[in-house]
Structure 1
Amino acid sequence: MANKRATAVIASLLAAGLIAGCGKTADSGEQAAPAKDITKEPAEIVFYSNNGDPVESFDYRFGNALRKKFPNWTIKYIQRTGTGTQLQDLIANGTKFDIFFQSIGNFEANAFPAGIQYDMSELIKSHKIDLSRLDPTVVDAVKQASGGKLYGLPVFTSNLVLYYNKSLFDKFGVAYPKDGIAWEEMVEMSKKLTRIEGGTQYFGFTHSPAHTIRMNPMAIPDADLNTDTPTINKDDRWKKFYQTYYLDPMRVPGYLDGIKKINKIPDINMFVKDQSVGMFGYLSSLIYVWEQELKSLNWDIVSFPTVEKGVGSQSYPAYFGMTNMARNKEATMEVLKYMISDEFQTEMARKGIMPVLNNEAVKKELGKDSPYKDRNWNAIFYNKFAPIPPKAPYDADLVNQYVSAGNNIALDKMDLNSALRAAEEESLKKIQEYKSKNK
């Protein structure tokens, strides 16, 4: 017993000594050096995206704020401008970059085959990054695509809203749409706006096929990940999707004749520049991406028309992922941590960039510094997001085939069933091509 007591006393004295010694150097009585502040030391963080964003756009959205926050660090951006700046070119010539960013689906389709992804899970823990602050749908989507790993952090997002040309509504005496508009109401408006007037063909509604498919409010996955097969001719919801988003609005009187003459679905230029389209379903990000182009248009936005009340499109986040070639992983993580901070997200929101924080105060700042601050910014968060279904790394290839199906259906080049079968066949080929390249 005595020996046990003595051992316990010695242990407690040692513990006390250790505790008392915390923060001091041995025998000197001086305070130990504080943890090193890496932001005081020089570092270079290089961003790359193959989405073609110009340098000015990068600096406006991210670069300038990052340089202000980290004045001792060099923040660079490599823009994809053509030959020599494609992702495979940079890898081939040994150009290193620390952060790769791309939109959901495109992030996986580019990073995974190139093998540049890096699991940030441990760094996220050590930097005490609280992912519960972010919208859960966007965090879950990146985990799902990578088997639970965290290859990217969402920094901003977008969704679908309905842009409308107020001048055309005024010209044809049609009341403006309102937030909460149902799909059937929008189709009725399209009927009133689709006409030939003064020799000009006007269309009531159009949309961006690639984005409507990627962000479909019905949350239909493009592929069955268990069997690595396309869903387009297997999941009956696709029939409802194409009926709803293509046939219903594009079979109003006069519409089919009009698009057959131009042999395409009316596009963004016909809405913004030609001003021959009344309503356009598109990304909320257009407001800052085409800030100058929109000046010539008398426009506003409302929430994307709903099929299921209260449910809008899926969120369309951009993921920023540290690459496995990052030279200073601690500094790179500090940059990414700051990009999802309240401060950075608020500054982005004020510019009109949709934040990813699950924070009402930050959301309310949306658009306050935009030249279009008088527009209906409430439309952007009016509906809740549809769930983001699982995405395969070859998802982008399938979207292209599903867009082709939509074009063939809209232009009456194929009936619905034939178009879905043809898209299925082409999609199966794309999946096999992907698997062959990435064995």
Structure 2
Amino acid sequence: MHLVQKRNQSGVTFMKKRMTTAILSLALLAAGCSSSAGTGTSTGEAPKTGGGGSEKKAEQPAAAKVSSEPVELVVFSSSGDSLESFNERFGNAIAKKFPNYKINYIRNEKGKTLPELLAAGQVIDIYFDSIRVFIGSLQYDMQLDMDDLVKSHNVDLSNLEPTALDGMRKLSGGKLWGIPVTNSNMALYYNKDIFNKFGVPLPKDGMTWDEVLDLSKKLTRFEDGKQFLGLGVATTQMLSMTQQSLPIVDPKSGKSSLSDDRWKKMYSTLYEEPAKPQGYREYMKTIKGNIPNVDEFHNKQNLGMLVYLSSYFQVNAKELKGVNWDMVSVPTFKDMPGVGVQPYPGYFSVTKQSKHKDDAMEVIKYLISDEVQMQLSKTGTMSALKTDAVKKAFGEQSEYKDHNLKAVYFNKFAEMSQKTKYDNALQDAYFAPMKQVASGDVDINTALRQAEEVANKKLDEEKKK
């Protein structure tokens, strides 16, 4: 469309006859309107935020140059996924679609961490990671604004989960440093045997935190020489997925956001209240003051409920075989009905250093296709698409397909908070109050005040680097 517009502009410049000029001017106006309306829908591009200033006229990106010759594409993720796992989810599909591409997947391990690879001069073509880990890669200056590639390759972004796409726009100041290929949510997993043992009604979709805390109290007890615990909530991941869409760094002040009372509500509801029944805090002392988590759920099997990532049943499928479990939607706050946690996307990006940017873009374009996303969904990987058919197929081929896997789609996603390159550096400061209020060692007001001081000091240090 932009090419049509340029040709029309050139014609108007050199035509001398008034009638012809008038006709071409009208045609130019129509073409311009058509181009303006079509740009957003053809790529599904979200409105860019940040940057400010006057808008510049968009330039036509260079035409895509996809190779028909053999090409090696180096793919890296800090996730530590095995080659088998990578191939099962992505590699096999890529090899079948692009027989001339050799995919060299480098697993994150000792001697092959991201900083070690880059220091050795290794060029990475495609980098992918979850949003939290992706933030940590920003210090290595690999990010490329992929908007021009999206346009030149006619990539349709309109079917992607909008909260996941908007989250990347926020992180990159309106640019597009990565495209969501997978997604993740949280769910409440529960042990049926523990509920049945104590005659407590099983959880159901749509419960509030207050209702779940009531169940937790009934399950936290010492019986048959064993300490049973009602509820454990994921810690590290929750910092990136708060239901109130809380940022780590306040966008307005540039300081820690811990003075926001919503943090206090989150820490109290998710970590302080579950630990109040007798026996819970005594048990925490036996695990070095940590919050009961997956070890208590699938190994020791003394945890009745666990709020954890929706990928838990897939990643830990083997461990869960010995547990009589099921799942329901993540609890919600009473004043935020139907609002779950923020999405936890896995972003794929073409790096700035890649010499095969067009080929890498073709791979990512294929990975967000209905074909690949449908297969991912069927096997239990949460899709990056918002398409109903793909959501409906979730877990159809999973060994746990008879479980309530659709619970991951019960609530709507919370809006993704503003992420910054400093978030990971402040993680320990935000993590500390979780353990402190759960153990009862420090009152919640003191814990948050101390954490805010530590966070701001660390933030100042990071900004000076």
TM-score by length of 2: 0.84
Q: Any unmatched runs of 5+ in structure 2?
A: 1-14, 25-62
Alignment of 1:210-225 (within 5 A): 210-225=236-251
Alignment partner of 1:201 is 2:227:
yes
Q: Deviations over 1:52-74 (max 9, x none)?
A: 22222111111111111112211
The answer for the alignment partner of 1:259 in structure 2 is: 284
Letter in 1 for 2:344: Y
Quote how far apart the aligned CAs of 1:261 are.
Answer: 4.1
Q: Is contact 2:128–2:347 with CA below 8 Å preserved after alignment?
A: yes
CA-atom RMSD in angstroms = 1.9
Quote how far apart the aligned CAs of 1:4 are.
Answer: 6.9
Alignment partner of 1:384 is 2:412:
yes
Q: Is contact 2:143–2:349 with CA below 8 Å preserved after alignment?
A: yes
Q: Is contact 1:210–1:400 with CA below 8 Å preserved after alignment?
A: no
Q: Is contact 1:39–1:73 with CA below 8 Å preserved after alignment?
A: no
The answer for the alignment partner of 1:399 in structure 2 is: 427
CA distance in 1, matches of 2:440, 2:350: 45
Q: Which segments of structure 1 move beyond 3 Å, counting only runs of 4 or more?
A: 35-40
Which range moved further: 409-418 or 152-161? Answer: 409-418
Task: Give the number of equivalent residue pairs.
Answer: 406
- Which of residues 148, 153, 175 is equivalent to 1:122? 148
Percent identity between the two aligned chains: 45
- Which of residues 205, 208, 228 is equivalent to 1:179? 205
The answer for the alignment partner of 2:376 in structure 1 is: 348
Q: Is contact 2:227–2:279 with CA below 8 Å preserved after alignment?
A: no
Quote how far apart the aligned CAs of 1:227 are.
Answer: 3.0
Alignment of 1:24-423 (within 5 A): 38=66, 40-82=68-110, 84-110=111-137, 112-232=138-258, 234-262=259-287, 263-307=289-333, 308-423=336-451
Q: Is contact 2:64–2:153 with CA below 8 Å preserved after alignment?
A: no
Q: Is contact 2:189–2:325 with CA below 8 Å preserved after alignment?
A: yes
Distance 1:36 1:125, change over 3 A: closer
Distance 1:422 1:36, change over 3 A: closer
CA distance in 2, matches of 1:423, 1:52: 30
CA distance in 2, matches of 1:241, 1:100: 33
CA distance in 1, matches of 2:202, 2:233: 18
Quote how far apart the aligned CAs of 1:109 are.
Answer: 2.1
Quote how far apart the aligned CAs of 1:36 are.
Answer: 9.8
Distance 1:51 1:429, change over 3 A: farther
The answer for the alignment partner of 1:28 in structure 2 is: none
Quote how far apart the aligned CAs of 1:171 are.
Answer: 1.5
Q: Deviations over 1:114-170 (max 9, x none)?
A: 111111110101111122211111111101111111110000110110001111111
Q: Deviations over 1:245-293 (max 9, x none)?
A: 1122221343223323433221211111110100000000111111111
Distance 1:209 1:295, change over 3 A: same
The answer for the alignment partner of 1:20 in structure 2 is: none
Q: Is contact 2:186–2:341 with CA below 8 Å preserved after alignment?
A: yes
Q: Any unmatched runs of 5+ in structure 1?
A: 13-34
CA distance in 1, matches of 2:64, 2:279: 69
Letter in 2 for 1:247: E
Q: Is contact 1:195–1:254 with CA below 8 Å preserved after alignment?
A: yes
Q: Deviations over 1:71-127 (max 9, x none)?
A: 221112111112x211111111001111111111321222x2111111111010111
TM-score by length of 1: 0.89
